[in-house]
Chains A and B, each alone.
Chain A
């Protein structure tokens, strides 16, 4: 028989559930309503508790500094088993009393690393594929629809680069926006945005499209490789891919 621990989907909720479920061999953690319940499952709804979460985080930090980043990444995926994957990884880590990320013959480690790497990869890709447009009041605005919840991970990267103008990274799927005024940044809920573009915008976009078309070497055409590196789902917000046949 297993016990299903429902969390509210936040990191704090997750760590609180880890605290409650740790001693329970048949524990299953999830925040998803869509999971398949078995007949003999019992259910616990875990409210987030700052104290419990802090104790778990402190313990993990002592065991393996790097694991908190990995767990943060895992919880940012849309996968239904993300809480359980992170939980099993934590359990192995505490049993082993130290880092286990090299233990690739264990399925828990492989799953945890796979999910964490997926988020890391999307973050890295978007540092390249985000496109900002300048609005009439000088704010640079970049829309995106990432598979994972990566806006918060992207903000420090751009905040370090863009210090002389405000910018916004808008996740239209999750309705979240990262705002930065050139010094500090924050992530807030944001349903939609109305854009009035600056007069420079068309000119730069046209120059960029021209550049993109020119720098290609037609005799070496290799569409498959292009799509491999730059999956089509990211094309939506790339100006250079808007009127570009394949």
Chain B
């Protein structure tokens, strides 16, 4: 028989395992287990630089890759599924709580592995987001999750992205072993205060979430230190052996009475204390009816504002105290940066041709990318408003806060500026809603030398903006 170009006369991995022999999940269980997982917003596949092995399947991409988008505009990057939705906990807000009357289902580790590798080869997904209801006990569940990702990594030689959602109250040793196979782990805070937690999630405590978060953060730091001792170099971003893509968490917004300020303070605390890569906010969706819970969906605007504020914390050098107004909430009328600028007119206008990166990053309407473009371009020639427009820097908001070579073309008074900014917000507010959830929209197109230059020119803010870390 004639040999084809790809035929080396060797057996493929599929043939070795026996094609089609692997256990496959059915559509019914896939639906139940996806339904149970889909309210977890986190979907990003970024932050890990995991490499493929010689005869393995897959690798991870630092920037993350979106493979599809659902009708709600969120990206599908990872296969987001539960191992089981059969829960012993009874959290009021959760559709899988013990007392709920819903169909229950589970998958075996083999079925999960077959599904993930089958989807990955077809380029449907970037990896797996694995989570589970608490089946029997926290330790039992964690062991099941551990067994699944161990199999996936070692037997199926899968090197794509794995995000594992940890089970609170599980044994420390299990958590640590699982972290060795995952790229990212998350423990969801869900409710932003101990009081709400006690009321709505009686089996969870603040400590049950923070303890593993702390443990993983400490272990990751130790690994990084060890690497430095051994090689004399800093560990490359996303290259670490231990949870290269770090940890994330999620909070439900609008199911309990906390203010934006309380939510953001907790966020800032976790970024600083546990080196979290990202905090997700999930606008409360009433999938469950209960007298303790509100009946209406929390507004998407609030979630949007929280994401904007979160971006300011991570990439723009702001602190939570600066962002939140006196009443403890974010302004619905303007984005948080605009609101801050209007409260602090003494810092403006800034001269585009001279201001430092930190100052440019604080100008409403100028993003990280815009600030870099300005800093790069003004090295060669002084910039005018016309230049900025041609460089695609949106001036609708920025013009009230900057001068170009001493020229100002914003509104004459603060009152006028306020009015114009509200109009600008209304004009594209609806379009920008929930721009940030799911997808990872921020890709910095700074070239290596631009990055070098920026790092030298303003170490603090530029580093923060480039790495998203403080």
Where the two chains meet, the residues of A that have a C-beta atom closer than 8 Å to any C-beta of B are 66, 99-107, 110, 117, 124, 127-134, 137-140, 142, 158, 160-166, 179, 181-182, 198-200, 203-204, 206-208, 210-212, 214-226, 228-230, 238, 240, 246
In the complex, besides A165-B13, A220-B300, A229-B66, 12 extra interface pairs with C-beta distance below 8 angstroms are A124-B63, A128-B67, A163-B52, A164-B14, A181-B6, A198-B19, A216-B71, A218-B72, A222-B434, A224-B73, A225-B434, A229-B439
Q: Does B297 contact A (CB under 8 A)?
A: yes
Q: Does B459 contact A (CB under 8 A)?
A: no
Contact B57 A142 (CB under 8 A): no
Contact A130 B123 (CB under 8 A): yes
- Measured CA separation A202–B336 after assembly (Å): 49
Q: Does B177 contact A (CB under 8 A)?
A: no
Residue of A103, A220, A230 with highest tally of chain B CB at under 10 A: A220
**Chain A contacts for B5, CB-based, 8 A:** 166, 179, 181
- Measured CA separation A128–B449 after assembly (Å): 28
Contact B380 A102 (CB under 8 A): yes
Contact A208 B123 (CB under 8 A): no
**Chain A contacts for B391, CB-based, 8 A:** 104-105, 110
Contact A162 B57 (CB under 8 A): yes
Shortest Cβ distance from residue A17 to the other chain B in the assembled complex, whole angstroms: 26
Where the two chains meet, the residues of B that have a C-beta atom closer than 8 Å to any C-beta of A are 4-6, 8, 12-15, 19-20, 24-25, 27, 30-31, 34-35, 38-39, 51-52, 54-59, 61, 63, 65-77, 79-80, 115, 118-119, 121-124, 126, 160, 285, 297, 300, 373, 376-377, 379-381, 383, 387, 390-391, 431, 433-435, 439, 445, 447-450
Which residue in B58, B121, B376 is a CB contact (below 8 Å) of A140? B121
- Measured CA separation A166–B383 after assembly (Å): 52
Which residue in B34, B55, B73, B381 is a CB contact (below 8 Å) of A163? B55
Which residue in B6, B58, B115, B450 is a CB contact (below 8 Å) of A182? B6
Contact B56 A211 (CB under 8 A): no
**Chain A contacts for B448, CB-based, 8 A:** 66
Contact A138 B12 (CB under 8 A): yes
In the complex where A218-B72, A225-B435 touch, is A104 in contact with B30 (Cβ < 8 A)?
no
Chain B, interface SS category: loop
Contact B27 A226 (CB under 8 A): no
Shortest Cβ distance from residue B127 to the other chain A in the assembled complex, whole angstroms: 11
Contact B123 A142 (CB under 8 A): yes
- Measured CA separation A226–B68 after assembly (Å): 9
In the complex where A179-B5, A217-B39 touch, is A207 in contact with B72 (Cβ < 8 A)?
no
Shortest Cβ distance from residue B293 to the other chain A in the assembled complex, whole angstroms: 15
Contact B8 A104 (CB under 8 A): no
Total A-B pairs in contact (CB under 8 Å)?
Answer: 193
- Measured CA separation A161–B24 after assembly (Å): 23
Shortest Cβ distance from residue B263 to the other chain A in the assembled complex, whole angstroms: 20
Contact A224 B431 (CB under 8 A): yes
In the complex where A212-B68, A215-B80 touch, is A105 in contact with B73 (Cβ < 8 A)?
no
In the complex where A127-B65, A131-B124, A163-B52 touch, is A219 in contact with B285 (Cβ < 8 A)?
yes
Contact A104 B373 (CB under 8 A): yes
Contact B61 A208 (CB under 8 A): no
In the complex where A138-B12, A142-B123, A204-B122 touch, is A226 in contact with B6 (Cβ < 8 A)?
no
In the complex where A216-B70, A221-B71 touch, is A139 in contact with B76 (Cβ < 8 A)?
no
A and B contact pairs by CB, cutoff 8 A, 6 listed: A103-B380, A161-B58, A203-B24, A211-B30, A216-B38, A226-B69
**Chain A contacts for B24, CB-based, 8 A:** 203, 207
Contact B449 A99 (CB under 8 A): yes
**Chain A contacts for B124, CB-based, 8 A:** 131, 208
Shortest Cβ distance from residue B165 to the other chain A in the assembled complex, whole angstroms: 16
- Measured CA separation A221–B74 after assembly (Å): 10
- Measured CA separation A144–B447 after assembly (Å): 29
Which residue in B55, B160, B381 is a CB contact (below 8 Å) of A105? B381
Shortest Cβ distance from residue A183 to the other chain B in the assembled complex, whole angstroms: 9
Contact A220 B72 (CB under 8 A): yes
List the 10 closest pairs (A to B, CB-CB), nearest first. A225-B73, A102-B376, A166-B6, A222-B73, A104-B377, A216-B70, A220-B72, A164-B13, A214-B34, A230-B69
Contact B31 A210 (CB under 8 A): yes
Residue of A99, A133, A200 with highest tally of chain B CB at under 10 A: A200
Contact A215 B373 (CB under 8 A): no
Complex: chain B residue closest to A215, CB-CB: B38
**Chain B contacts for A199, CB-based, 8 A:** 20
Contact B377 A134 (CB under 8 A): no
Complex: chain A residue closest to B285, CB-CB: A219
Which residue in A132, A181, A206, A214 is a CB contact (below 8 Å) of B35? A214
- Measured CA separation A33–B376 after assembly (Å): 37
**Chain B contacts for A137, CB-based, 8 A:** 4
Complex: chain B residue closest to A164, CB-CB: B13
**Chain A contacts for B52, CB-based, 8 A:** 160-161, 163
Which residue in B19, B115, B285 is a CB contact (below 8 Å) of A207? B115
**Chain B contacts for A165, CB-based, 8 A:** 12-14, 121
**Chain B contacts for A225, CB-based, 8 A:** 69, 73, 434-435
Contact A162 B6 (CB under 8 A): no
